[in-house]
Amino acid sequence: MATISQLQQTLKFTFGVVPIVAGLDKFTNLLTNWADYLGKNADLIPFDALIFMKIVGVIEIIAGIIVLARPLIGAYIVMIWLICIALQLLIGGNYFDVAVRDLVMAVGAYTLAQLTKLKGEKL
């Protein structure tokens, strides 16, 4: 049976590495064309959507690093970030499947925070 520490480490690695990979991909668009996810909200951005997505990429890389270094605060940051992405997708009227996936991942990030608390780590 897995211990709390093993579960916490698995989620820490997942929520640390995945945002870093997604953030790096904002510069290459190998996984997808990230600007497409802005939908009609792209018109609200005062500059090019590709530049905006690179800024998002930097934020995601930083969030992943924070999860690896300080999993409690990092988990909450990633959770909030994922909820914001899901809300943006819902408001944009597209990619409802991705919005639901991001909300499920936000629950996973919350679980990481709770497991980290059980281990006695502080903010």
Residue 109 belongs to a domain = yes
Residue 111 belongs to a domain = yes
Query: How many domains would you assign to the chain?
Result: 1
pLDDT in tens, the chain (123 residues): 788 899 999 999 999 999 999 999 999 999 988 888 887 777 888 888 899 999 999 999 999 999 999 999 999 999 999 999 999 889 888 889 999 999 999 999 999 999 999 988 776
Write out the residue range of the structural domain in which residue 63 sits. 4-118
**Amino acid identity at 36:** D
- How many Cα atoms occupy the beta-carbon half-sphere of 70 within 13 Å? 10
The contacts of residue 101 (CB under 8 Å, 6+ apart) are none
Helix, strand, coil percentages (3-state) for the chain, rounded to 5, are: 80, 0, 20
Residue 123 belongs to a domain = no
